[in-house]
Amino acid sequence: MQFSAQSNADKPTNSAIGKPMDRTDGRLKVTGAARYAAEFPMKNLAHAVVVRSTIARGRIQSIDTSAAEKSPGVLAVITHLNAPRLATTDPPEVSDRYIKVVPVLQDDRINHYGQHVGLVVAETFEQAEYAATLVRVAYTQERPALEFAANLNRAYTPERINAGYPTDTQQGNLEQGLSAADVRIDVTYTTPIEHNNPIEPHATIAVWEGDRLTL
């Protein structure tokens, strides 16, 4: 069996892959000097910490926020029971036929592990973080679809993907291809969750100035 390497002439000249690229903010980030959303100095800020679901699928049976509400510094505890009603919106680039946006804290439905089920607001971050641990949530669990291989019978090829573009999926005969192959490698790879911006804290600052809201 022979392999031929791709010539440099065949490679795109504008590709950033494989090239050392200078990052204008790289030095600031690795030295800890970069300023992220949570680090802008603001006066009289309250701090909010999210309470997340501990199950992957089901419904909220009950929420006990009494201990959190009595915790020092707590200003409010928000759940689907008392949260303001939000309008249902769909992503502008994808039709509702292909994806559904679920507004947070609007009902008792749990769609994924770690879903936001509550929000604790307090005078300091530490107070909010501690009070969030005092919120007690009881669930009615349902069987989630967790294993990719076990749910292949539910897989389908979408008509369109991100931004409404048609898919370029092509499906051939896997068994025929394997049987005709000169070499077969049978390995299963698993990878952990990787976040695209692990340095930056997940946070947002909201500031009201009259009728003007700055995020």
pLDDT in tens, 5-50: 455 555 556 666 778 888 888 899 889 899 988 888 899 999 999 9
Write out the H or E segment, with its range, that includes residue 67. helix 66-70
Q: What is the pLDDT of residue 3?
A: 46
The domain segmentation of the chain, as residue ranges, is 46-144
Tell me how far CA of residue 179 lies from CA of 3, 18, 173, 176, 183, in angstroms. 20, 34, 10, 5, 9
Give pLDDT tens digits for 63-100. Answer: 999 999 999 999 999 999 999 998 876 555 554 444 56
**Mean pLDDT, rounded, for 164-184:** 85
Give me the pLDDT at residue 65, please. 99
> Hey, which CATH number is domain 46-144, 3.60.20.30, 3.30.70.2190, 2.40.110.10, 3.90.1170.50?
3.90.1170.50
Helix (H, G, I), strand (E, B) or coil at 135: coil
Mean model confidence pLDDT for the chain: 86
With bands split at pLDDT 50, 70 and 90, how would you rate the model's confidence at 103? confident
Nearest to 78 by CA among 69, 87, 70: 69
Q: What is the pTM of this model?
A: 0.73
Amino acid at 15: S
Q: Which one, of 56, 50, 64, lies nearest residue 204 by Cα?
A: 50
